[in-house]
Structure 1
Amino acid sequence: MRTTSHTFSRTSVRRCIGAGAVFATAGALLMVPQAALAADETEATAATTTTVQVLGINDFHGRIEADAYGGLPGASGLVGAVRALETENPNTLFVSSGDNIGASTFTSFIQQDTPTMESLGLGGLDVGVVGNHEFDQGFADLTDRVQPFYQQFGGDNAEYGADLTLGANVYKKGTTEPALKEYAIREVDGVTIGFIGTITADTQTLVSPAGIADIEFGDQLEAVNRVAAEIDDQVDVTILLTHSGAEVSGSDETTCADIANEQTDFGALVRDASPAVDAILSGHTHQNYPCTIQDRPVLQTGSYGANLSKLDIEVSTDETGATSLVSIGSSLVPLTDEEGAPVYAPAEDVQAVVDAAVAYAEVQGNEPVGKISADILRGGEAPGDDRGVESTMGNLVADMYLWATTDYAKYGGEPADVAFMNPGGLRDDLIYASSDAGEGDGVVTYAEAAAVQPFANTITTSELTGADIEEILEQQWQPGQDRPKLHLGVSEGFSYEYVEDAEPGEHIVSMTLGGEPVDPAATYTVTTNSFIAAGGDGFTAFANGPFRDTGLIDLEASVDFMTEHDVVDPAPLGRAVEYVEAEPTPEPTPTAEPTPTAEPTPTAEPTPTAEPTPTPTSEPTAEPTQEPTPTAEPTQDPAPSEQPSQTPSAPSDNGDDLAPTGGETGWALGLGAAVMIAAGLVISTRLRRKA
């Protein structure tokens, strides 16, 4: 038993040792991946992620006053929003895609937009691209006035003014030498972001040629890709700020697909910009779209500070300091609520700037800008009450628009053919009598001119066919709306006839331009303002062709129009002529085929009617006249002699004016004979009795 027991014991020990070895090996193997995972976790925790927030605007256009009606927060509401969002994430940059100034409301315009630039400077605007309106007063004004004004808010950054007016595709005339700074780099919490700025090449035709004689605008795509390659090794993220944009609004897939396929310079930019460009913030077209195209955010906020574009950029930095872009989230942030009130608390320091600008504008508004010969009024018995009728004011503003796109020194495009003005854009009249400010009879002040068109729209041109123009005119009739008709002002030289009460699409009878009929198939250059060019007030036919923003603000053009004319007369009425149905009156001239009408005169064929009268009339009269002779005998008996004499007169008592026929005469003679025989018998009997 011991032997057995020993043998068993040794065998068990061996087995135990073998099993232990197996378990030890297995345990060691299991611990290897765990150690590796622990090492990976250590490395992961060594990497850090930083989120940088980029907030953007475009086309602010000096809208410094809050406007609940238009849903605009004003400068103080805009800056208040930026500061509130910066509180949530201190790693914030505030940028602009151009047109901060120009096409501004009177409050900013009257001071050459210094209140707008001061508001944005106080608001901490970090980087911006130049827009076409930054060239409104010329390139020298941009470099000698605008950039230095911004510079005072730049602190230690000696290039701050230049950083707010980037332009990588703006070159000195005839060269490839940049006329403006091409890019700006900002570092935020260890993350380096490069901003490239480009502007639409159309700027060449959007501003006064004299003001940009020493510069030219090159291809955006070439400039973007060139600069992106140049700074790629200096930055973690590259963002394009372009004052160029898509022609559509919307956030759905279809809209974004349309933008991606748009056959425009901007479409090419979206498709072909270097992969080094991580996001595109656009402007110029005043559209609203938060898109992602080819995995790259492409945004525009609309205009006037109604929204902010927002990029949430996540960058990872490892323990060696190497960085990599993790993600970019994008969205649009509305800055007013449904009632149009600012969502964020206003910035008090900026509001003080706005208040001072308003006070200054009230004083400067009394400065004279021109003269008028008589009242120039909107439509209605009380001017402005009826937008459905032609008005001297509507036609005059259309004349101003046409002048601005034909003879205006500040216009660099092709001359227009016809101009239209919407009645809803006219908010006041020009009265000949002096106002309480005492400027004098016939004098028009800045404030009075600004009150007529207070929306600071820009003037646009479109290439439209004659059929498009007819469709636009048809859209003046809007049945079912609060205002069933909106009568457009039209420029001198254009006229049309219309039927007021007609079926939809059948109001316009004819159109002429310069006295010649408008050809439905021909193309005409049409001028209007940016509001209805985009389809505002229901005039969607303007969108039948893309419009070009001339860069001219309506108020400025109107003021310059008055300055260039010694006295401005009310535009005449009658360019729209109601087609009266009596217009067919000319047709009666053919009905002056009254030759047939004259022929009926032979219906004075009463001659035959007259013929029967004499014949029968004379015949019967003669016969009975001779017959009475025998009645001379019974003269002593008057009673019988009266009977026959009444019988022939019976026909005329019955109202019959015709003469008796032959049959009637025979009857009368027979009756007379019978009477005479009877009378004879009576006489004979009496004689016998006497006898």
Structure 2
Amino acid sequence: MSATPQRRRVGRRLIAGVAAVAAATGVMTAAVPAGADSGARQAGHGHGKHGRTVDVQLLSFNDLHGNLEPPDGSSGQVTEERPDGTTTQVDAGGAEYLASSLRSARKGEKYSVTAAAGDMIGASPLLSGLFHDEPTIEALNKLDLDVTGVGNHEFDEGRAELERMQKGGCHPEDGCFEKDEKGRDKTFEGADFPYLAANVTDEKTGKPILKPYTVWKHKGVKIGFIGVTLEGTPDIVSAEGVKGLEFHDEIETVDKYAEELDRKGVKSIVALIHEGGAPASPSYNYDCDSPGPGDGISGPITDIAKGITPKVDALVTGHTHEAYACTVPDPKGQPRTVTSASSFGKLYTDTTLTYDRKTKDIVRTSVKSANHVVSREQEKAPDITALIERWNELAAPIANEAVGHIAGDIPGRGATTPESPLGDLIADAQLEHAKSLDEKAELALMNPGGIRADLVHKASGSEGDGVVTYGEAFTVQPFSNTVNLVDLTGEQLVTALQQQVSGPNEESPKILQVSDGLTYTLDLTKSGADRVVADSIELNGEAIDPAKTYRVAMNSFLAGGGDGFEALGEGANPLVGGDDLQALNDYLKANSSADQPIDPPKADRITVVD
């Protein structure tokens, strides 16, 4: 979902604004007893010059999405299971705390490498997104990240922008955002760590657009890292973002480069895969190897893990924003660690890789892994605090502008139901914008993946309860899609609703958020397309007529058939409207005030049977 148009416009506004301003810890283990820690890692294996094995600490995380500041509401919490079986929510995350956690974890470790599994940038809050994610890359450099694979969101602004993140240079249109001590443009330096994109190739040359792998070396120890994103990236990113690129099978690609590394004498290999799974419990300390290895996890990563060559010793994964540290059997039936550290920097994974100096391989039976909470009760990293303050000063002229008022929390990303209150609000805002362009507009549809946060009644650092700032709204909708209008027949509309739970979305449904007036029943006791009860679909109390034409609003991502909604991509008589974030802000301004804030929508348009 490309974010380029809005960020360009905001960037120019930002430059003018800046010119005016210038005149601890929780644990989940896999395949090891509870309580395994770095102290245990240091003992029992020869760390001296003549020891055959050494323990390498692999610290990893995923799906940071530019969340430098602690995320608000449920987006900034992890679920923890207590000894008595009850659960509690723990506040977590924020780059200042992530830096402290990683630095503390590295203390006393002679061999430590830090890796990530994609989506470090993209869909970012305003503090990072406003500056094309330069602040996040700078923060990751300070966190001493050694390597990351690409995720789908690394392509939100296209290949050229991803390459700029790697190599540096000022933005081609917005220019340089900072000045040096002499008032000259300060050039963005890019990532100190390699971005890996083994399965992303130029469609003309067939070559990877970035390095496919890298080899970490320390005191004679060599570990290869291969980075891939999910093959289905083009289905969830705007067409412009992946123009000229091809995305290949994850298993085939990892196997190819694992073989190449093996031929070069690199026997210890970790795959960084931006694809994930779903654990049976939302608790980060859930044992997903109970009753047996990998029994508590499902989803795409399980088949990938079972298919990737045994030459790969561990998989660091992401994309689903879930927390797990499991063992999934490789093609030879041997246990192999598969991990994911939730999202937004709320967790990090500490994995012990026992390296055999003689074979140059990992002793697989000795691999241990645990997820740890990035607690907000620890000290903040001062250098990251300074970085955040510096960029916040630049963003302040825009970020703090009030755009509306709400009477309570409006869950979006953090909603626990298929229909979210914030999804309803956004759909209503898009319909109102669409009606200003074409009075025939009748309904609006919003993809759930485009809602990146909640609107929180009292957000962190807010001056007053209920105030929605531009920065908070930006965090909810950072992609800068346009609000488009198309004609759909009733038959196409019904098909689109059925595509929420069928085809590529059958295993992981993507429930569209709907504007006021559209109602239907979602029966989760059924399977496939039948889960959408066709004869229950009504618009303003009238059954959908298959032969009738309806004027439907949606963002440009959906209008292009994104997220597997092919029927929406078949719309006729398209009309491109304004920016979706502006549509939301206009709706909030027109329909709320300090005296009359917007009440959270009831989210009762879709009747769910489960």
Q: TM-score band (shorter)?
A: 0.5 to 0.7
Quickly say closer, same or farther: Cα 1:65–1:54, change in 2 above 3 A.
same
Tell me the alpha carbon deviations over residues 328-352 of structure 1, each in whole angstroms, 9 at most, x when there is no partner: 4332332344xxx244x33221221
Indicate if the aligned counterparts of 2:351 and 2:369 stay in contact, CA closer than 8 A.
yes
> Which position in structure 2 is the counterpart of 1:202?
232
Give the superposition deviation at 1:428. Answer: 6.0
Q: Distance in 2 between matches of 1:495 and 1:315?
A: 58
> Which position in structure 1 is the counterpart of 2:55?
51
> Within 5 A, what are the aligned runs for 1:266-415?
266-294=301-329, 295-318=335-358, 323-327=360-364, 328-337=366-375, 341-343=376-378, 345-365=379-399, 378=406, 383-384=407-408, 395-399=424-428
> Within 5 A, what are the aligned runs for 1:633-652?
none
Indicate if the aligned counterparts of 1:365 and 1:447 stay in contact, CA closer than 8 A.
no
The answer on 1:251 being equivalent to 2:287 is yes
Secondary structure of 1:451's match? helix
Secondary structure of 2:255's match? helix
Which residue among 564, 580, 586 is the counterpart of 1:561?
580
The answer on 1:82 being equivalent to 2:102 is yes
Which residue among 258, 261, 284 is the counterpart of 1:231?
261
Indicate if the aligned counterparts of 2:324 and 2:371 stay in contact, CA closer than 8 A.
no
Secondary structure of 2:115's match? strand
Indicate if the aligned counterparts of 1:58 and 1:100 stay in contact, CA closer than 8 A.
yes
> Which position in structure 2 is the counterpart of 1:513?
539
Tell me the alpha carbon deviations over residues 127-156 of structure 1, each in whole angstroms, 9 at most, x when there is no partner: 110111111111111113454269xxxxxx
The answer on 1:494 being equivalent to 2:518 is yes
Q: Distance in 2 between matches of 1:58 and 1:565?
A: 29
> Which position in structure 1 is the counterpart of 2:31?
none
> Within 5 A, what are the aligned runs for 1:28-43?
none
Q: Distance in 2 between matches of 1:392 and 1:67?
A: 19
Q: Distance in 1 between matches of 2:158 and 2:410?
A: 41
Structure ranking higher in strand proportion: 2
Secondary structure of 2:276's match? coil
Give the superposition deviation at 1:116. Answer: 1.3
> Within 5 A, what are the aligned runs for 1:16-165?
47-66=51-70, 70=76, 71-148=91-168, 161=191, 164-165=194-195
Residue identity matched to 1:304: F
Give the superposition deviation at 1:310. Answer: 1.6
Quickly say closer, same or farther: Cα 1:84–1:105, change in 2 above 3 A.
same
Q: Distance in 1 between matches of 2:603 and 2:57?
A: 58
Q: Distance in 2 between matches of 1:74 and 1:312?
A: 25
Indicate if the aligned counterparts of 2:278 and 2:299 stay in contact, CA closer than 8 A.
no
Q: Distance in 1 between matches of 2:127 and 2:323?
A: 26
Tell me the alpha carbon deviations over residues 621-680 of structure 1, each in whole angstroms, 9 at most, x when there is no partner: xxxxxxxxxxxxxxxxxxxxxxxxxxxxxxxxxxxxxxxxxxxxxxxxxxxxxxxxxxxx
Q: Distance in 2 between matches of 1:231 and 1:402?
A: 53
Which residue among 200, 212, 218 is the counterpart of 2:248?
218
Q: Distance in 2 between matches of 1:244 and 1:391?
A: 25
Quickly say closer, same or farther: Cα 1:385–1:197, change in 2 above 3 A.
closer
Tell me the alpha carbon deviations over residues 586-610 of structure 1, each in whole angstroms, 9 at most, x when there is no partner: xxxxxxxxxxxxxxxxxxxxxxxxx
Indicate if the aligned counterparts of 2:401 and 2:469 stay in contact, CA closer than 8 A.
no
Q: Distance in 2 between matches of 1:348 and 1:251?
A: 35
Q: Which moved more, 1:198-207 or 1:108-117?
A: 108-117
Indicate if the aligned counterparts of 2:65 and 2:119 stay in contact, CA closer than 8 A.
yes
Q: Distance in 2 between matches of 1:101 and 1:386?
A: 25
Secondary structure of 2:469's match? helix
Q: Distance in 1 between matches of 2:99 and 2:338?
A: 23
Give the superposition deviation at 1:102. Answer: 1.3
Residue identity matched to 1:426: L
> Within 5 A, what are the aligned runs for 1:543-558?
none
Indicate if the aligned counterparts of 2:71 and 2:344 stay in contact, CA closer than 8 A.
no
Residue identity matched to 1:397: I
Tell me the alpha carbon deviations over residues 255-312 of structure 1, each in whole angstroms, 9 at most, x when there is no partner: 9766798563x33311010110000000011011110112110001111111111221
Give the superposition deviation at 1:165. Answer: 1.6
Give the superposition deviation at 1:227. Answer: 0.5
Q: Distance in 2 between matches of 1:447 and 1:95?
A: 35
Secondary structure of 2:210's match? coil
Gaps of 5+ in 2: 1-47, 77-90, 171-188, 330-334, 412-418, 435-442, 482-496, 503-508, 522-534, 546-551, 556-562, 567-576, 593-597, 606-610
Quickly say closer, same or farther: Cα 1:188–1:255, change in 2 above 3 A.
farther
Indicate if the aligned counterparts of 2:115 and 2:145 stay in contact, CA closer than 8 A.
yes
> Within 5 A, what are the aligned runs for 1:460-539?
463-464=500-501, 490-492=514-516, 494-495=518-519, 512-513=538-539, 516-517=542-543
Q: Distance in 1 between matches of 2:405 and 2:303?
A: 47
Q: Distance in 1 between matches of 2:420 and 2:102?
A: 44
> Within 5 A, what are the aligned runs for 1:621-632?
none
Quickly say closer, same or farther: Cα 1:450–1:559, change in 2 above 3 A.
farther
Secondary structure of 1:211's match? coil
Q: Distance in 2 between matches of 1:549 and 1:301?
A: 29
Q: Distance in 2 between matches of 1:210 and 1:92?
A: 38
Quickly say closer, same or farther: Cα 1:565–1:240, change in 2 above 3 A.
closer
> Which position in structure 1 is the counterpart of 2:440?
none
Give aligned pairs, total: 423
Quickly say closer, same or farther: Cα 1:302–1:518, change in 2 above 3 A.
farther
Give the superposition deviation at 1:401. Answer: 6.9
Secondary structure of 1:253's match? coil
> Which protein shows a greater Rg?
1
Indicate if the aligned counterparts of 2:398 and 2:471 stay in contact, CA closer than 8 A.
no
Give the superposition deviation at 1:426. Answer: 3.5
Indicate if the aligned counterparts of 1:335 and 1:342 stay in contact, CA closer than 8 A.
no
Give the superposition deviation at 1:324. Answer: 4.3
Secondary structure of 1:305's match? coil
Gaps of 5+ in 1: 1-43, 151-158, 371-375, 406-414, 430-435, 437-445, 466-471, 473-487, 498-508, 520-525, 530-546, 551-557, 580-691
> Within 5 A, what are the aligned runs for 1:650-669?
none
Tell me the alpha carbon deviations over residues 410-468 of structure 1, each in whole angstroms, 9 at most, x when there is no partner: xxxxx98567899x933469xxxxxx9xxxxxxxxx97333357567999x97149xxx
Give the superposition deviation at 1:517. Answer: 2.9
Give the superposition deviation at 1:325. Answer: 2.9
Which residue among 409, 433, 449 is the counterpart of 2:470?
449
Indicate if the aligned counterparts of 1:101 and 1:133 stay in contact, CA closer than 8 A.
yes
Residue identity matched to 2:64: F
Q: Distance in 1 between matches of 2:299 and 2:432?
A: 31
Secondary structure of 1:227's match? helix
Q: Which has the higher contact order (CA 8 A, sep 6+)?
A: 2
Tell me the alpha carbon deviations over residues 376-416 of structure 1, each in whole angstroms, 9 at most, x when there is no partner: 765xxxx44999xx9998754124578999xxxxxxxxx98
Quickly say closer, same or farther: Cα 1:204–1:391, change in 2 above 3 A.
closer
Q: Distance in 1 between matches of 2:351 and 2:433?
A: 39
Secondary structure of 2:579's match? helix
Give the superposition deviation at 1:66. Answer: 3.1
Tell me the alpha carbon deviations over residues 157-191 of structure 1, each in whole angstroms, 9 at most, x when there is no partner: xx994953211110111553222210000112211
The answer on 1:169 being equivalent to 2:205 is no
Q: Distance in 2 between matches of 1:305 and 1:274?
A: 30
